[in-house]
Amino acid sequence: MEYVSVKEKAKEWKVSERQVQYYCRQLRIEGAVKQSGVWLVPSEATNPSILELNQLRLVSLFSGCGGMDLGFEGNFNILKKQYNPRIHPNWKVKEVNDNLLLLPKTRFSTVFANDIIPEAQTAWSEFFINKDSTYCLDSIVDLVKLQKNNSINVFPKNVDIVTGGFPCQDFSVAGNRLGFESIKSHLGTKLDVDEPSIENRGNLYIWMREVISITEPKVFVAENVKGLTNLGDAKEIIEADFSSISNDGYLVFPARVLLAANYGVSQSRERVIFIGVRKNALKPNILEKLEDLDNNPDLDPYPTITHTDENIPGLLPYVKLKDVLVDLEEPEKSKDIDQQRYSKAKFMGKHCQGQIEVDLNGIAPTIRAEHHGNIEFRRLSKENGGSYSEELDAGLKERRLTIRECARIQSFPDNYQFCRPGKYGVSTTNAYKMIGNALPPLMAFHIAKRLEELWPIYFGN
């Protein structure tokens, strides 16, 4: 095979060299190789963008560092054990090595992302390097007001899908559970007494609703913590509010709680997922079937599980944590800044949250948006009840999970970098927070592929 330089291929495709390098890093150019730190591209390679014309335009809200965005776009590495070919034999996965597979690129393409956290934008923009101008660092409340009050087109046109994980702190069992009565504003600061309550953090799903009303996508997907489902009638209120968009223009399926471990993510994380479809975009006779999923299960938009802790034919066992962390070096030996960084908080007693070591033969607890004393231990000392005697006898010290270990547990690939030094970098604290706030990309990928599969059935080609 003959190869040419990135510079030559960029000139041929009439794009920047940076764009071609991005395609190479994302493994979107088949046969591209890296030699001595320099990418070489097969001379006959086709511009990936030409192959991606049939894209579905996605608007991402409350994007954070991009867990849902990465999942909806696909094209990232996972463990072989995280893929179940019996359930998804048609996924065009590619073998990377003996341990890893590359998931296929989906039809979804993020055309707009948004959050108020600068560090999240930094991590997102570095990975989605060809879309750095797509990420809008501003409050969704202010963006909606700007479009409505000034007739400025803040949000893109011709949007196919809107996704968003609206803030969960006010619904989480780990917080004060103030729900719709949150005392935090849409900017994350303490709420002013005279500020309209509709703008508090617990009501930001309403502003996602406003964006859906403005952009009129065919589908929307919203996610939050499981705790929302047992906080009074919060779930039913949110479902009704989403349904009422454009004069009851959306069919909102009953929200469902999904367990990440059921989709190959080695974690006990549970999330409630809301999915809605625009009624007037559906093909004839589809609406009445979608309103009766009990008799039309083949049209169910929620993804089929692939892994379980029960003995069910066709399903794989949960992915063990030791398989996820298997080849990571200790922080002091690693060249990966995200593996070097971890909380140095001391053991505070097992009566406190996060004071346990993870079970390598099981799945991890939920990776929370916390830091210091709440991040679980990779291993504890014998004095503190540690059970990994061989590691301790070999001189490995008591420590908490690193940034990279948390990222892997969440199913982020190793080429997704979080920590960055410098004034405008990303600290260990902020890296823990953004990883803990993310929807696991692999879990999001399952949702995306299910919707991609159903798209022509729901809406036609």
What does the pLDDT look like over 268-298, one tens digit per residue? 999 999 999 999 999 999 999 999 999 999 9
Q: Report the side by side order of strands in the sheet with 100-102.
A: 77-79, 100-102, 94-95
Gyration radius of the chain over CA positions: 22
Polymer length in residues for the chain: 461
Do 41 and 71 lie in a common domain? Answer: no
Q: Give pLDDT, residue 308.
A: 98
- Using a pLDDT cut of 70, give the percent of the chain over it: 90
Token pair in block for residue 268: 């006990």
Do 69 and 40 lie in a common domain? Answer: no
Token pair in block for residue 218: 């065919």
Q: What is the pLDDT of residues 418-440, one digit of tens each?
A: 998 887 789 999 999 999 999 99
Q: What is the pLDDT of residues 139-187, one digit of tens each?
A: 998 999 999 888 788 999 999 999 998 875 444 334 443 433 444 444 4
420: helix, coil or strand? Answer: strand
Do 39 and 77 lie in a common domain? Answer: no
Find tokens 């003995």 and name the residue: 311
Residue 346, domain member (yes or no): no
Q: Give pLDDT, residue 52.
A: 57
Q: Which of 47-51, 237-241, 323-327 has the highest mean pLDDT?
A: 323-327
Confidence of residue 350 (pLDDT cuts 50, 70, 90): confident
Boundary-marking domain end, from 31, 49, 67: 49
Do 91 and 189 lie in a common domain? Answer: yes
Mean pLDDT across 4-13 = 93
Residue 325, domain member (yes or no): no
Closest C-alpha among 302, 148, 142 to residue 213: 148
Mean pLDDT across 338-352 = 90
pLDDT above 90 (res 194) = no
Q: Give pLDDT, residue 403.
A: 96
Token pair in block for residue 114: 């948004």
CA 261, CA 266: separation in Å to the nearest integer? 5
Residue 355, domain member (yes or no): no
Q: Give pLDDT, residue 183.
A: 41
Based on the structure, what is the number of domains in the chain?
2
Token pair in block for residue 448: 């995306």
Q: Give pLDDT, residue 181.
A: 45
Do 166 and 33 lie in a common domain? Answer: no
Q: Which domain holds residue 34?
A: 3-49
Instruction: Of 27-41, 105-119, 198-212, 443-457, give the lowest mean pLDDT range.
Output: 198-212
Do 139 and 31 lie in a common domain? Answer: no
Do 231 and 133 lie in a common domain? Answer: yes
Residue 35, domain member (yes or no): yes
Residue 417, domain member (yes or no): no
CA 253, CA 287: separation in Å to the nearest integer? 11
Q: What is the pLDDT of residues 106-132, one digit of tens each?
A: 999 999 999 999 999 999 998 987 776
Residue 177, domain member (yes or no): yes
Annotated active-site residue 168? The verdict is: yes
Do 18 and 152 lie in a common domain? Answer: no
Closest C-alpha among 373, 331, 332, 334 to residue 351: 373
| Structural element, H or E, at residue 317 | strand 316-317
Of 65, 168, 406, 419, the catalytic one is 168
> Which is it for strands 3-5 and 38-42: parallel, antiparallel or unpaired?
antiparallel
Q: Give pLDDT, residue 297.
A: 95
Do 170 and 208 lie in a common domain? Answer: yes
Higher pLDDT, 202 or 97: 97
Residue 178, domain member (yes or no): yes
Give the list of residues 6+ apart from residue 270 with CB closer than 8 angstroms, or none.
Answer: 225, 226, 257, 258, 259, 260, 366
* Contact (Cβ atoms closer than 8 angstroms) between residue 6 and residue 41: yes
Confidence of residue 51 (pLDDT cuts 50, 70, 90): low
pTM of the shown model? 0.84
Do 284 and 171 lie in a common domain? Answer: yes
Do 67 and 180 lie in a common domain? Answer: yes
- Using a pLDDT cut of 90, give the percent of the chain over it: 68
Q: Give pLDDT, residue 47.
A: 85
Instruction: Look up the CATH number of the domain holding residue 78.
Output: 3.40.50.150
> Which is it for strands 270-278 and 219-225: parallel, antiparallel or unpaired?
antiparallel
Q: Give pLDDT, residue 241.
A: 87
> Which is it for strands 250-252 and 219-225: parallel, antiparallel or unpaired?
unpaired
Mean pLDDT across 84-110 = 95
pLDDT above 90 (res 53) = no
Residue 357, domain member (yes or no): no
Mean pLDDT across 214-243 = 86
Confidence of residue 199 (pLDDT cuts 50, 70, 90): low
Do 21 and 122 lie in a common domain? Answer: no
